[in-house]
Amino acid sequence: MANMSPVKNPIPEQDPNVRNKNFLEVSLGYDETTAVDEAQRCLNCKNRPCVSGCPVNVQIPDFISLIAEGKFLEANAKIKETSSLPAVCGRVCPQESQCESKCVRGIKGEPVAIGRLERFAADYAMAHPTDDAVEVPAPNGHKVAVVGAGPAGLTCAGDLAAKGYDVTVFEVLHTAGGVLMYGIPEFRLPKAIVQKEIDTLKAKGVKFVLNFVVGRTETIDDLFADGFEAIFVGSGAGLPNFMRVPGEGYNGVYSANEYLTRVNLMKAYKEESPTPIYHAKKVAVFGGGNVAMDAARCAKRMGAEDVYIVYRRSEAELPARAEEVHHAKEEGIIFKLLAAPLEVLGDDDFHVKGVRCQNMELGEPDASGRRRPVPIEGSEFILDVDAVIVAIGTSPNPLIRTTTPGLDTNRKGCIVADEVGATSKEGVFAGGDTVTGAATVILAMGAGKKAAAAMDEYIQNKNK
C-alpha cells in the first residue's frame, strides 16, 4: 500500500546558526526508515514521467521500488546503470525543474523526493562496500581521450570504459572533479564523496593525467598523433566574467571562481592551509545563480558578519536552485534584489570600502524571455562592504579553441556541437558547459553520456 502523505519526508539538517560557522554538510540525508517510507510514496506509474525529466534517464521507479523493498545496494546498482555520479546528482541537481517537476504526486502535494532517495542509495552503498571486485570490461583495443575531469568528462569516461575503451582523462588542475572540487563547497558536496566516485572510475580502468593543460602541454592534434582515436572535450566554462564597472582592480574584488577555488580546492577555510584568503567583514556578492549562493554562504562561514546577494532582477528570476536560496536565507544572507553595481569604491590603501549601486525595475522581456532590468533614476545607494565577489557568469576558456584548427566555435566562444556532441572537427566531440556556456552538473553529465555513445558509434563505423 502506497504511502499517501501529501508531503515529502523532511531531511534532517544542521541548525542554520550552527552550520553558517562550519563547512560540514548542511543536509544530513535520510536514514533507512525514512528512505523506505519516502520510497513508498512512489506510485510506480506506467508512463514514468519522472524518467523523461532526468537528463541521463535514471530508471527512477525501479530504483525507488528497490529502496521500498529494503534492497538498498540493488537500488544503487540500478541508478549506476545510467548515472556515473549518483551521490553527486542526488545532492546538486535542481530536481524541482527536472525529475521531480514531472512527478505525478506533485500534482496534488509534493513530488516524491527522488533526489534525496538517489543520494540515500548512493551514500548507503558507499558506507557498505561489498567485496565484489569491480567489473572491468574486456578491452576493445581502442584508445580515447577525455579533456577535462568535470562532470561531463567523468560521465563520458565512465561510459566509454564500460564499453571496453582504453580511456585517459587529461585534467589541468591537480585534482580531478572540475567544478565538483573547486566550485561547489564542501557543505553542499563533501569532497570525499566526489573522490570516491572518481576512485570508482579508476578501478574501472580509467586513467587520469593531472596537471596537463590541453592547448599548452599538448594540443588536440598532438593527442591524435599520440594514438587517441576520438577525443571528448569537456573543458567547461571556467573563464570568469567581470562587471566592467570602475574599481574592479581594487584589492578585495574577487571573481567567484577565485574565491571558491581558494576556499574549496585550496582549502583556505582551514586555518593551516598555506593558501591565503582575505577575511572580509562585509561582503557583496553580485549575481543570483548557484555560484553566487555558494560564494555568499562561504563568505559567511569565513567569518563575515554581513553578506549581501545583489541581483538585478527579482526573486522570481533567481536562477539558483530553490533549496540553495532557502538555505542561504536561513543562514542570514541578506538579499538586495532589483539592484545593480555602478562602481566599486576603494580606500587610500587601494582596498574595497564599498559599492555604489542603483535600484532597478523590471521592464519588457528581453531576447531570453526574461523581463529586462531597467535602472530607476535617482535611486543610487552605497553598500558599505570590504570585499566584492563577482558571480555574474563564466565563459569557455579560449585555450582549446585557439589551438585547435578546424574546431568551430560561436561568438560566445562556445564549441559548436550537434545533439550527440559531434563537432566540426572529425573525431572531436564536445559537451557540457564548453558547448552550452555555464549550465548545470546534470546537463553536463547528460552531454557526456550522449557523446560517449556517439564516440563509440564513430569508432565502430570507422573500423568496419
Partner 1 sequence: MYQILKKRRLSENVVLMEIDAPYVAKKAEPGQFIILRVDEEGERIPLTIAEYDREKGSITIIFQEIGATTMQLGLLEEGDCLHDFAGPLGRASELEGLKHVAVVGGGLGCAIAYPQAKKLHEMGAEVDLIAGFRNKDIIILEDEMRAASTNLYICTDDGSNGNKALVTDILKQQIESGKKYDAVIAIGPMIMMKFVSLTTKPYGIKTIVSMNSIMVDGTGMCGGCRLTVDGETKFACVDGPDFDGHLVDFDEAMRRSRIYKPQEQSAIEAHREHCNLLKMEVK
Contact residues toward partner 1 (CB under 8 A) are 172-174, 210-213, 216-218, 238-240, 242, 248-249, 251-252, 254-255, 257-258, 261-262, 266-267, 272-276, 278, 350, 397-399
Nearest distance from C-beta of residue 357 to partner 1, angstroms: 21
Nearest distance from C-beta of residue 68 to partner 1, angstroms: 42
238 or 354: whose CB is closer to partner 1? Answer: 238
Nearest distance from C-beta of residue 220 to partner 1, angstroms: 14
The dihedral built from the CA positions of residue 275, 393, 146 and 76, taken in this order, carries a sign that is positive
List the grid coordinates of 126.
558507499
359 or 397: whose CB is closer to partner 1? Answer: 397
111 or 150: whose CB is closer to partner 1? Answer: 150
242 or 381: whose CB is closer to partner 1? Answer: 242
Instruction: Give me the amino acid identity at 227.
Output: G
Nearest distance from C-beta of residue 265 to partner 1, angstroms: 9
Nearest distance from C-beta of residue 118 to partner 1, angstroms: 29
Nearest distance from C-beta of residue 178 to partner 1, angstroms: 10
28 or 213: whose CB is closer to partner 1? Answer: 213
Nearest distance from C-beta of residue 338 to partner 1, angstroms: 27
How many Å apart are CA 253 and CA 389, to the nearest integer? 6
Nearest distance from C-beta of residue 352 to partner 1, angstroms: 11
Enumerate the β-bridge partners of residue 207: 168
161 or 237: whose CB is closer to partner 1? Answer: 237
Helix axes 191-203, 151-162, angle to 10 degrees: 30
Picking from 129, 151, 121, the residue whose alpha carbon sits closest to that of residue 29 is 121
248 or 317: whose CB is closer to partner 1? Answer: 248
131 or 348: whose CB is closer to partner 1? Answer: 348
Nearest distance from C-beta of residue 226 to partner 1, angstroms: 11
77 or 239: whose CB is closer to partner 1? Answer: 239
Nearest distance from C-beta of residue 179 to partner 1, angstroms: 10
273 or 410: whose CB is closer to partner 1? Answer: 273
How many Å apart are CA 233 and CA 436, to the nearest integer? 13
How many Å apart are CA 282 and CA 286, to the nearest integer? 13
